[in-house]
Amino acid sequence: MDEYYEKIFIRFTSVGLLSLFFPPIVTSAAELKQSPPDIDSVETFLDKMQADEKIAVLPDGSIVSGNGIEIIDPDTQNVVAVVEPETSPLSITVEEYRNKQKYSLNEDLTISLIRRGSPAPNNKNYNIMVRKDTYLTSNSFSSRGWRFAGYNYFPQSGTGAYLLWYTFKDSAMIGSISEARNTYRTGIAHGISVYPGSPRYHTGPGNLTTYYTYNPIPGASYLVANW
């Protein structure tokens, strides 16, 4: 074997041996995303926004910012409402929101939304599609026992399978629809844990995930984002 081919042989042999001992690292879609923003409360979230930036306040007190959400009937798969902070009649500026101790509920949204802290996951829960660069913060949870978000969330098509979840003031679980139902049925937590100050990316079958918590501390809430 002449010197040229000997070098080629050694080079390819070395690469092959390296691939055996050091296989390629597989990184999940969630791990490929940027580090999540540091948000520890709804107030911190609002602090990161401009005073004249628009947010949409849903009838249950939830806040939507960014490009918006689509609320979908799980039976028909029809979009029953689109909420876009820039154009929605539910929208106000961050400054206006801060200046109101209580935001009077807007009755223009014609669908009936399940309140936060639903006592049980339900087949009729609406699915909410979270558009790219959109954040949704929930109203505060209350009562005892397992409390559920009342909605199932999924990311806009073409933006990946994962949503980013934060919990404020109390620990909680993030899981699929079946995991939420199993938690309610057995009383044993199913899904993944999420803690204040430690947001997590998660996905589930059909990219649908939801939030639930046990004996929530008064004022506990969550933020879900497609970011």
* Average pLDDT rounded to a whole number, residues 9-27: 37
DSSP code of 208? -
Confidence at residue 143, expressed as pLDDT on a 0 to 100 scale? 84
Residue partners of 161: CB distance under 8 A and separation at least 6:
29, 155, 203, 207
Confidence at residue 142, expressed as pLDDT on a 0 to 100 scale? 83
What is the residue type of 91?
S
CA–CA separation, 88 and 84 (whole Å): 5
Nearest to 61 by CA among 226, 225, 227, 219: 219
Question: What would you report as the CA-atom Rg of the chain, rounded to the nearest whole angstrom?
Answer: 22
Q: Please, which pLDDT band fits residue 119 given cuts at 50, 70 and 90?
A: low
Evaluate whether 45 touches 137 at the Cβ level (below 8 Å): yes
Confidence at residue 123, expressed as pLDDT on a 0 to 100 scale? 66
Share of the chain above pLDDT 90, in %: 63
Q: pTM score > 0.95 for this model?
A: no
With the C-alpha atoms ordered 169, 194, 93, 82, is the resulting torsion angle positive or negative?
negative
Task: Please write the tens of the pLDDT for every residue from 52-90.
Answer: 999 999 988 899 999 999 999 999 999 999 999 999 999
